[in-house]
Structure 1
Amino acid sequence: MTTLTLKVPNISCGHCKTSIEGAVAPPLPGVESVEVHIEPRTATSHGMIRR
């Protein structure tokens, strides 16, 4: 299992959070889950992710 955290500098609301979560998991191969945090403006994904 791999964890990858990315900065999302332009996230500002719950709609942004929902949109990112829906776009990343499960459509991207290997991503099992994603957690988006408005503060500190990050997205953390878990799964068999290749960097």
Structure 2
Amino acid sequence: MGLPLHFQFEKLRLQGAIQQASDMDELKEVAGQLLDLYFMQKAATARVISEK
């Protein structure tokens, strides 16, 4: 299953941020943001499923 175009662009943006990170603090910040997004998505998915 392919990602919609807007998700592909967001993925590329985040990949670029990871690749351009020059120190561990930057990588930790990006990792924290990705972790937040992951759990927000899980919560949103669970909410949609429970409303059906």
Length-normalised TM-score, structure 1: 0.37
| Higher share in strand | 1
- Report which structure shows greater RCO (CA 8 Å, sep ≥6): 1
Larger radius of gyration: 2
Length-normalised TM-score, structure 2: 0.36
